[in-house]
Structure 1
Amino acid sequence: MSPPAARRTAGIALPGTDLWMFDESSVLFTYFSGTGEVVDREWRTEPAVVDLVKSAFEAVWERATPHEEYKPV
């Protein structure tokens, strides 16, 4: 039996806001207000930022539960 999802993901450095990654070369961060309104967007292309997001996605997918194995609690 797999550990709970929170335990599988505790060691992943996840970005703290919503984002989209494009072609593994740029990231668009979206910042929201406390009421859910978009307050800012920010394009980032620095290799360190792109690499952090890419490594987070890879780590999440490595630890993800395959769809066919998912069972709601």
Structure 2
Amino acid sequence: MRTAFYISDGTALTAEAFGHALLSMFPVELNHKTLPFIDTQEKAENVCRQIKQALNQDGEPPLIFHTFVNEKLK
């Protein structure tokens, strides 16, 4: 099953709300993973590893919804 990531350097509530609203238009089942407070380079690199792991496990590219204020972490 494909994974949807909701990622933010804040609470990730906006990314989740946007992602869920968009995905509600399609009849798909997904694994949902919310990753709030990704506010350092180290945390962002860990997220990249999780995304790559999801790709390898699912066999499909994950969907990524993000809201970052910090331009360096995008």
Structure with greater contact order relative to length (CA < 8 Å, sep ≥ 6): 2
TM-score for the superposition, normalised by structure 1: 0.33
TM-score for the superposition, normalised by structure 2: 0.33
Higher strand share: 1
